[in-house]
Amino acid sequence: MKIILIILAAATAAAMYFKLKNKKGMAPSTVNLSLLAKVPFFQKFTKEELLWVKESANEFHFSKGEILKPYESKVDAYWILLDGGWEISSAKNDKSELIEHSVTSFVSPNISESANSSLKVVISESSYILKISPEKMIQLKKMQHLVTTYIQEGEIKLNTF
């Protein structure tokens, strides 16, 4: 009887491991403060501000090839690349840009309707991405004025993409 239980437990564990390993799609992740502090977007933040971000945002893991934002979809939050990479492409001018690792890169809900419908964001390698609601971003901008500059510069770039 014990042998059967051990075999059953091992088989269940193996099945769960296989299922998790081969799972595709956006998966919740835990915000790592040391990783967050290395991202240019957050480098000037105090520990307290980083803790606020950790409590106020959601981190997700994406696998290579997943589409974060298809053409014609509307962005409803700020998506900030923490680690990994994504490729942003435009349907209107065959332009694309590969963005990898520690650069200030994000997708914003405040870009123009034209830019919003023509941009596509595809994950280029295993990536960790932070999602922040527009309401929380307003608070974040008040805490760290450098964020406002990053957002404005990024939105200008996305609108002209």
Domains (range + CATH), the chain: 25-159 (2.60.120.10)
Three-state DSSP at 83 gives strand
Q: What percent of the chain has pLDDT over 90?
A: 17
Cα 153 to its chain centre, rounded Å, is: 18
Query: For 24-64, what is each residue's pLDDT tens digit?
Result: 566 766 667 777 888 878 888 899 999 999 899 998 999 99
Other residues' Cβ atoms within 10 Å of the Cβ of residue 145: 9
Whether the model pTM is above 0.75: no
Please state, in angstroms and rounded to a whole number, the distance separating the CA atoms of residues 32 and 72.
Answer: 32
Please report the pLDDT score of residue 4 as a whole number.
45
Please state, in angstroms and rounded to a whole number, the distance separating the CA atoms of residues 141 and 148.
Answer: 5
Q: What are the structure tokens assigned to 10, written together?
A: 């091992």
Amino acid at position 24, single letter = K
Q: What are the structure tokens assigned to 81, written together?
A: 């690349």
Backbone angles phi, psi at 46, to 5 degrees: -80, 170
Cα 50 to its chain centre, rounded Å, is: 16
Tell me how far CA of residue 37 lies from CA of 47, 107, 110, 115, in angstroms: 9, 19, 25, 30
Which residue in the block uniquely carries the two structure tokens 């998790």? Answer: 20
Amino acid at position 65, single letter = G
In this structure, of 13-27, 55-69, 89-103, 121-135, the range with the lowest mean pLDDT score is 13-27
